[in-house]
Amino acid sequence: MSKEVPYTDPKKLLEALRRGEERAFEQVYRSCYRQISSMARSNSGTESQAQDLFQETLLVFLGKLRDPAFELTSDVCTFLYAIAQRKWWKQLRKDSRVDLTLDEQGHPTELPDVGNLEEKKAFEEKHRLMSRVFAGISEECRRIIVEFYYQKKPLQEIAEKMGLDYQYIRVKKHRCMNDYKKRIRAHPDFKGL
Amino acid sequence: MADDYQQTERISRYLEGDMAPAERQAFEAELEQDEALQKEVGLQKEAILGVACFVEENYRHAIQAVAGRLKHEGFFLNEENIRDYLRGNLEESLRAPFEERLKNDPAFAEEVRLEKDMLEGINLYAGGEEAQKIQRVRQRLQEEGFFPGQESPPKGKVVSLSRRRLIAIVASLAILLAAGLYLFLPDSGTGTYAGLYEAYYRPETAVLPALLDQLEASGFAQDAEQSRQLADALQRYETGAYAEAASALSTYLEQYPQDREARLFLGLAGLETGQYREAIPELRAAGKAAEPQVAAAANWYLALALLQTGKAEEATALLRQLAAGDTRWSGQARELAGKLSAMD
């Protein structure tokens, strides 16, 4: 099996991860998965749970990379392992809490807060709808908005990278946001949320 | 309300902290009064959260695509799957990826071959024990006259055997005798422990590749030099230059004495070069590693080193601890502890 290591420079690997490049994800899988899988499987986990844990860990890590102030002082695998370990112990604690709160008849003594769950579901549905709408705006707009709002890059840097004038991109960002909002308002499912 | 574009621009500037204090104050006063503006600000905030959701969904899809591809090539297969495969119990959906990986990954093929040899060894040993038990029962029944029409061989009669049969029996006896002396006879002294060591010692194949992969992908800021040094020493170990690896690891450990993984491989290099007593303190230190796989590997090889140096009692205690866990060494530890107990 070929073990591709497209990014030998750690900084470039992090940049590629920020861009969501599949080959960067693959490199991280090949380098870091075994350790995390072994940790989960040695602690009551199955292979399939280990795979889910790794995916969620990677998403948490990508979330951290959004913060421009974030600096990685250890290697990626060590960092992922630490996240995975915390997540896994949290999961185990959660599972054991469910077991411990069963009454004599085996019914849970603490019922989940349905109101909160429904609120959470509605919140997620709304953002999923917005995500679908956002996918429909122009590529240029998506790039500007993602880099500005999600990756928190300064407009000047985005303008330079895209080869655009600062004033142009400043106005363009507002136009893009305006277009995005208009599309949200016009979506047939929006009012139901 | 101002036109859409201007409104969006104002809200953006407000949300991004881009307004002068007086303008901000005016905007906030307007916001308090104007319900439509409040809704608009709310929508814009939600729209920004929608962007995060969009990016995360894209990440998730990309990660799932990678995981799907890796699954197809058998990347997620583990030692349990290998055992299932060899026993013919592998889940049908895993068969194709298993065979694909077997074909394309020499290290995995080697792992499967080792596991197969080990299973056959266990079967052979168990089979030998079974055969001896059956033979004993048969002999007892024969003595009781259980078998109808049996005739005791006349005393003093020379039973003639063909030369080929004779050679086969002599060869079988020699093998049984050698195996018995070497492995199973409890009163044959330290030779027995050494025999068990030889029978159970296999080069380490689990921690090393993962560690080298990890080091390959590392080199991050503070510990780049450390990673390079360790990778260099481990690569020597990987190529079989054990004495060189031991020397490089010793130098490395002078600088990074807390590195338990380096201690593990220094201990293993000691076992490979016959420095069993020197390997023991290194493996003992590695056994305290936080990473369960490293600790388990260190304890397994520590038990073997203790056995090789005649410290069977301590080895047995350690093997029992390993057997109680759930690591790749647990099965072998259980088996070896059983054999050692039988020798007491």
Query: What's the ipTM?
Result: 0.71
Asked which of A36, A70, A100 is the last residue of a domain, the reply is A100
Same domain, A68 and A123: no
pLDDT tens digits for chain A (193 residues)? Answer: 445 578 888 889 998 998 888 899 999 998 999 889 988 888 888 888 999 999 999 999 998 888 878 888 888 998 999 899 888 888 887 765 434 343 444 333 343 343 456 666 777 788 888 889 999 999 999 999 999 988 888 999 999 999 999 999 999 999 999 999 999 989 888 875 5
Considering the domain boundaries, does residue A191 fall inside one? Answer: no
Taking contacts as CB-CB distances below 8 angstroms, the residues of chain A near B213 are 3, 30-31, 34
pLDDT at B268: 93
Percent composition of chain B: helix, strand, coil (DSSP 3-state, to 5): 75, 0, 25
Closest CA–CA distance from residue B79 to any residue of chain A (Å):
11
Q: Is the dihedral of CA B27, B29, B35, B39 positive or negative?
A: positive
**CATH number of the domain where residue A77 is located:** 1.10.1740.10
Q: Please state, as a whole number, how many other Cβ atoms lie within 10 Å of the Cβ of residue B189.
A: 10
Q: What is the pLDDT of residues B168-186, one digit of tens each?
A: 444 444 444 444 444 443 3
Q: Please state, as a whole number, how many other Cβ atoms lie within 10 Å of the Cβ of residue A115.
A: 8
Same domain, A21 and A69: yes
Domain around A153: 114-186
Domain total of chain A: 2
Q: What is the pLDDT of residues B293-339, one digit of tens each?
A: 888 899 999 999 998 888 888 898 889 888 888 888 888 888 888 88
Closest CA to B113 of B102, B122, B100: B102
Q: List Cα–Cα distances, B224 to B4, B217, B228, B285, B344, in angstroms.
A: 52, 10, 6, 24, 50
CA distance B287 to B293: 10
Please list the rounded mean pLDDT of every run of 10 residues in chain B (344 residues): 78 90 94 92 90 89 91 85 85 88 88 81 63 62 63 42 39 45 40 77 80 64 71 82 86 89 92 88 90 88 90 88 84 86 76
Closest CA–CA distance from residue A45 to any residue of chain B (Å):
11
Phi, psi of A102 (to 5 degrees): -85, 140
Taking contacts as CB-CB distances below 8 angstroms, the residues of chain A near B12 are 173-174, 177
Taking contacts as CB-CB distances below 8 angstroms, the residues of chain A near B60 are 55, 59
DSSP structural state of residue B157: P
Domain at B207-343: CATH architecture: Alpha Horseshoe (1.25)
Same domain, A34 and A89: yes
Same domain, A95 and A118: no
Closest CA–CA distance from residue A107 to any residue of chain B (Å):
31
Asked which of A100, A127, A153 is the last residue of a domain, the reply is A100
The one-letter code for the residue type at B322 is L
Considering the domain boundaries, does residue A105 fall inside one? Answer: no
Same domain, A86 and A154: no
Q: Using the beta-carbon criterion (under 8 Å), do A177 and B44 form an inter-chain contact?
A: yes
Q: Using the beta-carbon criterion (under 8 Å), do A42 and B8 form an inter-chain contact?
A: no
User: Residue B270 contacts by C-beta under 8 Å, 6 or more apart in sequence?
Assistant: B246, B276, B278, B279, B282, B305
Same domain, A21 and A49: yes
Closest CA–CA distance from residue B119 to any residue of chain A (Å):
22
Same domain, A145 and A93: no
Same domain, A94 and A26: yes
Q: Using the beta-carbon criterion (under 8 Å), do A26 and B220 form an inter-chain contact?
A: no
Considering the domain boundaries, does residue A119 fall inside one? Answer: yes
Closest CA to B124 of B184, B201, B206: B184
Same domain, A136 and A178: yes
Same domain, A118 and A84: no
Considering the domain boundaries, does residue A192 fall inside one? Answer: no
Considering the domain boundaries, does residue A54 fall inside one? Answer: yes
Taking contacts as CB-CB distances below 8 angstroms, the residues of chain A near B102 are none
Same domain, A137 and A85: no
Same domain, A56 and A118: no
Asked which of A55, A71, A100 is the last residue of a domain, the reply is A100
- Contact between B237 and B265 (Cβ < 8 Å): yes
pLDDT at B63: 92
Q: Which residues pair with A102 in a beta bridge?
A: A108
**CATH number of the domain where residue A159 is located:** 1.10.10.10
CA distance B339 to B334: 9
